[in-house]
Every structure is written in C-alpha cells, then in structure tokens.
Amino acid sequence: MGLFRTTATAAVVAALAAITTAVCVSPAQAYGPTPGNLGCRLYFNDAGTGSSPTNWDDTYGLTQTPATPSPGQTVTVTFTAAAGPLNGPVAINPGDVPIVVEAVLGGSQSGSVTLSQPNYPAGPIPGNARTGPITATGTYVAGATGAATLTVNRVILDNPVAKTYCSAEGDRDHKAAPVPTHIVESFTVFGGTVSVTSVTGQTVTGYARAGNVINYAVSGLAPSTALTATLRAADGTGTPEGSGTGTTDAAGAGTGTLTVPSGATSGARTLAVSDGTNTVSVPITILGSPSIAITPSGGGSGTVVAVTGTNWNPGSTVTIGGYKALTGPPPPPATSDPATTATAGASGGINATFTVTDATTAYIGAQSGALFAISAWTASADSCVAKTGSATTGSCILSYNLSETVTAGNLSMARAAGSGNITFAGVTVGGTVQTTTGSLSTVTVADYRGSTFGWSLVGTVTDFTGTPGGTIAKSNLSWTPACVGTAGATNAVAAVPGTPGTVDGATLCSAPTSATGTGGSFDAAAGLTLSVPANQLAGTYAATLTLTLS
C-alpha cells in the first residue's frame, strides 16, 4: 500500500508525518538553491484544519526565464526541491502525489502564478525513502516595468485522498491561513528599447553591408552611461562582431553607431546594445556580396535572358548589360547590347529580362554604384562560313541549347475491383484456441514520382466486434507479408516485404530511398491468420483492416 492510497488511512498518516532533511540540487537558480524549511499539515479529503504537523527540510530553488523580462513577455517560472519529502513506511506509486505550487507577484507586478508537476513521483518510491526531486513549472505575462518579486506562498502535495499543505516554517492551518515562505526571487521587468534610425549607403534601416555605419537610438537604459554595440546571431547569441559605441543621457535615452566590419557574417542578425547591465536588441540583415544568375546561359543573337540576383541594396537601381571577355580588372568592356534596369526589392533581390544582340558578349553583368556582379554567357552564332572561296580546308559549327522538362508523377496504390472483403474460414467453439486463415489479395503500389524517396505500406486493424456480442482482440490477427516487383515493370529499387507477425502498426511492404533514384511498380499481398480464443462467444465478428501508403 502506498503513501496516498485510499485504503490505507493509518499508513497515509504515518507516511505524511515523516517529512525531514534533504540534499542539495546543483543547477544555479535566481533564488538558491538554498537550504530551508517549510511547515506542513495533512488534510484528509481536503477537509478540516489539518493534522500530523511536520517540518519539510529541503534545499529549494526558484527561477524564471527570461530572468529580466520585458512588458508583455511570457515568463516561465520553475520551483525546485532537491530531494522531496521523506516517504513513510508505505510505498507509493508513480504519479500518486501531483505537486502544485502557488506563487504571488509583488512590486511592479501583481497577481499569482500556479506551478505544477502532475506526474510525481516519477517512479515507485519504497517506504522510508525520499520521494525524489521536484521541478514544478508555470507561466505568467510580465506587466509594467520596475522592480518586482516572486514569492512561493504555498506548496501542495495534491493527492486526492490525503493532501498536504505547506507554507512558511511553523505549525498552523496551512490550507486556510498560509504564511508566505522564505523562497523569494527579486527581479526587474525591463522596458528598454533600441531602434535603427539610419544606415549609411542604404535607403532602408533593416539592411546593411560591410562598411555601412548603423546609427541607432535607445531608451530605458542606465542613465549617463557609455554603450557598447555588436552584431550577433538572430537569436542574440554567438560571437559578437563589430565594436560600436554610444552614450545615454540622464533619462537613459541615447544614440550611438556601429560600423559593419569587413567579413561580417551575412544574413539575419541582431544589433545588440548594452549599458553594461542590460542589453537591448533589434533585428537587422547583413547583406553579402551581390550576385546574379542567368537563364539560359548561352544562345544566339536575340536570345531573351532571365536575370535574377541577390544581396543588392534594397530599393537601389541595378543596371544590367552585356560585357566582353575580361582582359583586366572588372568590370570588362561593355558590348553594344541595349542595357536594362531593375529595382532591388525589399530584401535586395532583382528580377529582369535582358536581350543579347552582340556576338562578342561573353558576360552578362549587373552594376549599382560600386557593386558589380557578372555571369558567364556562351555565344552561339546563327550562321558561319566553313570554307572561304576556293579553300579546300575549313569547317564551322552551329550550336543548339537543348532542354527537356520531366514532370513528376504520383505515388499511388490500387487493388482489384471487389477485393475489399476478406472472409476467414469459420470455426466451431471447442474449448481450445483455434486458428483460421484468410488472404489479403494483391495491392499494387506505383511510384512514378521520379525522386530519390522511399515509401512504406503500413497496416492497422480494429478489434473484431461480435454480433450479438463478444470481442476478439486485434492483436490476435497476424500476417505473412509478400512483396515483389509487378511482372513486366522496370523498377529502380527492390521492394522489401514486412516481417511476419501481428498486423496492427506493422509494415506490409516498403521501398528504400536511393541517391540514384527510386520508382517502379510493386505487388504486395499477405496471408492472414486469426487466433480465436478457446471459449469465444459465438456470433459473427467484423473488423476493419486499413493500409496506409506514405
């Protein structure tokens, strides 16, 4: 019988009256881990003023994440007790004693927070042993800025038959008149902000590249303080890049700058500004080297080329033109191809079309101010001279760009019409377990996706339900899978039959992935065996077998 069993009232009293010393827990927390004591009483059926007063001596901790929240931010609170109460002489089962912790907010915050650990203890606990570490969690939404406190008001060992209420050390009615505990976390709700006011070389404030100066403004930081600014990963972590500066005034508002260093990590980043105690951040994207791609990459005069590009300054005008072979530093000499322009989008991308007319075009390039990118172009003439005059030697060529689109088909399965019913041979009740057989007819799986992906065909089955009554468990149905390539099919891989055994949740047939390609047509089938219990109720039984292809 266990600590909180309904049939062991005396044992419950003995068990709950034995709360005593604990050991330390190692993780660092905002409060503690610190040794302390809670006073407790036992309440049968959650009634009365309590009995069996005890002292719970343990090492307690209280933390919240984030430690310094912003207004409106969801905060996760965690209460820990290193060892848990000492169990009495009667063993208890996993989950017998859910934990509920009631905490109250103070200072700039108001309201309460309920923390819980529903499945406690985690495992079976023998008599006279610690019930194990407690980790109860809950959340609240941070309110106004300012200094605040979070206080554990009461801890409840929430067994439905015999509850234990604990509050501050000492004996009292902890249910009706709890006294706040010594477990108090002090924290600050921080409302500082930072914004990017301008970026040199850019017309937007959310993008910058190496050499640009990011100008920023802050509020709510420490007054009259020097600021530091760096670039970090999008989540605010990682190795800082750059070394920006700034200052705040007597009200904690201020400005500063950061020059994006050469070689700065490109992509989604964060500008982080610190006053030495608190850090505020704002997202910013660092642009990499601009680039373009062209389709097609070659052709004759009059070919229309689709030009796309990335990492251009958002909103900037990009000029696209033809260029001759490079003989010195870029850009190379321009050809006579008519230039076109494109405006970079909000994220620095460009899309344009460009027509090649000059046979000397060796590159298609894009330029915006000092930014330049090219992509090689292969010219293909539409006419040529093989032999000049009476020459007896010579040749020329005309090149063609060939293309073909292969469209993916489907992954599908099918069975023969009218094969959706499977009837097992009947049995007569005779006092022994009997087996009866049936057949799952061929299911053809066709994989014409033109991919490297595999597939699996999995069976599930319901219990057999009898009329007028009775049930045969689904675990009594087993199969022996078979899986082969469809006759005459050209298959890229070999299908694999499932393992003989219980049907429910088992694989009938599957095909593996392959880097060189998969696909084909495959036939899956199975022999079925149903085990009928010795004294099964007579009747007609029905179940549903489902095959899922994925």
What domains can be seen in the chain, in order of their start residue?
31-189 (2.60.40.10), 193-286 (2.60.40.1930), 294-379 (2.60.40.230), 410-415+429-549 (no CATH)
CB 466 within 8 A of CB 511: no
Q: Kindly give the pairing relationship between strand 298-299 and strand 378-379.
A: parallel
CB 318 within 8 A of CB 344: yes
Residue 474 phi/psi, 5° resolution? -60, -25
Res 40: pLDDT: 94
Q: Concatenated DSSP letters for 332-393? A: PPB-SSPPEEEE--TTS-EEEEEEE--TT--EEEEEETTEEEEEE-EE--S---SS-TT-S-
CA atoms within 13 A on the CB side of 369: 10
CA-CA distance, 474 to 491, in Å (whole number)? Answer: 35
151-199 pLDDT, tens digit each: 999 999 999 888 999 999 999 999 999 999 999 999 999 989 999 999 9
CA-CA distance, 447 to 409, in Å (whole number)? Answer: 8
Counting residues of the chain whose pLDDT is more than 70, the rounded percentage is 95
CA-CA distance, 473 to 76, in Å (whole number)? Answer: 44
Residue 175 phi/psi, 5° resolution? -80, -50
Least reliable range by pLDDT among 301-310, 323-332, 534-543: 323-332
CA-CA distance, 208 to 314, in Å (whole number)? Answer: 9
Confidence band, pLDDT 50/70/90 cuts, at residue 120:
very high
**Residue whose pair of structure tokens reads 């941070």 in the numeric block:** 142
User: In what side-by-side order are the strands of the sheet with 226-233?
Assistant: 193-199, 213-219, 254-259, 241-248, 226-233, 267-274, 279-287, 207-209
Q: Which residues contact 494 (CB under 8 A, 6 or more apart)?
A: 485, 511
Classified as helix, coil or strand, 550 is coil
Res 23: pLDDT: 27
- Could you tell me where the beta strands, DSSP code E, fall in 359-489? 363-368, 371-376, 378-379, 411-415, 434-447, 455-461, 464-467, 471-472, 477-485
Counting residues of the chain whose pLDDT is more than 90, the rounded percentage is 79
Q: What is the mean pLDDT of residues 308-316?
A: 97
Least reliable range by pLDDT among 21-35, 255-269, 520-534: 21-35
**b/e for 165-177, b at 16 or more Cβ within 10 A?**
bbbbbeebebbee
Classified as helix, coil or strand, 474 is helix
Classified as helix, coil or strand, 43 is strand
Tokens of 323: 């260029």
Tokens of 530: 């149903």
414-459 pLDDT, tens digit each: 999 999 999 999 999 999 999 999 999 999 999 999 999 999 999 9
Q: First vs last Cα of the chain: how many Å apart?
A: 48
CA-CA distance, 214 to 206, in Å (whole number)? Answer: 10
* Whether residue 13 has pLDDT greater than 50: no
Res 2: pLDDT: 35
CA-CA distance, 194 to 229, in Å (whole number)? Answer: 11
40-62 pLDDT, tens digit each: 999 999 999 999 999 999 999 99
Classified as helix, coil or strand, 114 is strand
Res 11: pLDDT: 32
Res 206: pLDDT: 97
Res 83: pLDDT: 95
Confidence band, pLDDT 50/70/90 cuts, at residue 235:
confident
* Whether residue 518 has pLDDT greater than 90: yes
* Whether residue 202 has pLDDT greater than 80: yes
Which residue did the predictor score with more confidence, 550 or 10? 550
State the Cα angle at 366 between 364 and 367, rounded to 5°.
Answer: 140
CB 134 within 8 A of CB 23: no
Which residue did the predictor score with more confidence, 22 or 393? 393
Res 103: pLDDT: 97
Tokens of 19: 């709360």
CA-CA distance, 270 to 296, in Å (whole number)? Answer: 38
Q: What is the mean pLDDT of residues 61-69?
A: 92
CA-CA distance, 184 to 186, in Å (whole number)? Answer: 7
CA-CA distance, 529 to 540, in Å (whole number)? Answer: 17
Res 392: pLDDT: 87
Q: What is the mean pLDDT of residues 229-243?
A: 94
Res 389: pLDDT: 85
Residue 46 DSSP symbol: T
Least reliable range by pLDDT among 142-151, 373-382, 442-451: 373-382
Confidence band, pLDDT 50/70/90 cuts, at residue 15:
very low
Res 330: pLDDT: 74
Residue 223 phi/psi, 5° resolution? -70, 150
Res 334: pLDDT: 94
Cβ burial of 117 (10 Å; 0-12, 13-18, 19+) is buried
Res 299: pLDDT: 85
Confidence band, pLDDT 50/70/90 cuts, at residue 6:
very low
pTM (predicted TM-score): 0.53
